[in-house]
Amino acid sequence: MRGSQVQKEGVRTSEILARLDENFPDAECALVHKDSYQLLVATILSAQCTDARVNMVTPDLFGKYPDAESLSKADPEELQELIRSTGFFRNKARNLLKASLKIVEDFDGDVPDSLENLIQLPGVARKTANVVLGTWYRVASGVVVDTHVGRISKRLGFTAHKDPVKIEKDLIELLPQERWISFAHQLILFGRSTCKAQRPRCSECFLADLCPYFGSQEQ
């Protein structure tokens, strides 16, 4: 890419970020939580499940298991029943039990505040770790790439990849680090309201004039 193209792309990216700020100034994680433990558990449950469904399940879950120590001692069948509606409940229950036990044994009952330690927990990969670090600890360790972020980043021309790890790498190189946290939250809201997977509302989109995907649809 030539210097003039790089500069033009930088201007386009800056304008996209400015419009996201204008339309979603207070974007935050949609998973209801009161502490890092609740956020970690909710994020693990959110795999292949909507945030809305997770938020319906967690009040009873946290009422019964308010911290990592109590969760580590949970009866597996009772735990499975509590989280059944989130899908893949057996695997999720197994990960929650192992992760909470490791938190108790290796981290004095506190959810780790570093990427290196978080990804040691069963059921926790980069996406989950980035959610916890960015949302609770306000540490910009990377960009959360869920289905919305991946889809919209590709439509906007920010990446050509489908693999979340490669998409995150592209976004980290493209975006200022101070935007890594807010960008993901904004794109998730944008994906739910406008840039949907099926039938995106391009004609109503505030980014249409900056979007390669919209241009391709016009042909």
Q: Which of 51, 92, 102, 127 is catalytic?
A: 127
Which one of 21, 67, 113, 146 is the catalytic residue?
146
* 75 is annotated as an active-site residue: no
Report the chain's C-alpha Rg in angstroms: 19
Name the nearest CA neighbour of 44 among 71, 20, 17, 26: 71
- Report the C-alpha gap between 133 and 115 in whole angstroms: 7
Contact yes or no for 106/77 (Cβ under 8 A): no
| Three-class secondary structure of residue 71 per DSSP | helix
Pairwise CA distance, residues 177 & 203, whole Å? 31
Give me 139's structure tokens.
């540490």
One-letter identity of residue 184:
A
Q: What are phi and psi of 82, to 5 degrees?
A: -65, -35
Identify whether 169 is a catalytic site residue. no
Residue ranges of alpha helices (H) inside the chain are 3-23, 36-45, 51-64, 68-72, 76-83, 89-106, 115-118, 126-135, 147-155, 164-174, 180-193, 212-218
* Active site amino acids: 127, 146
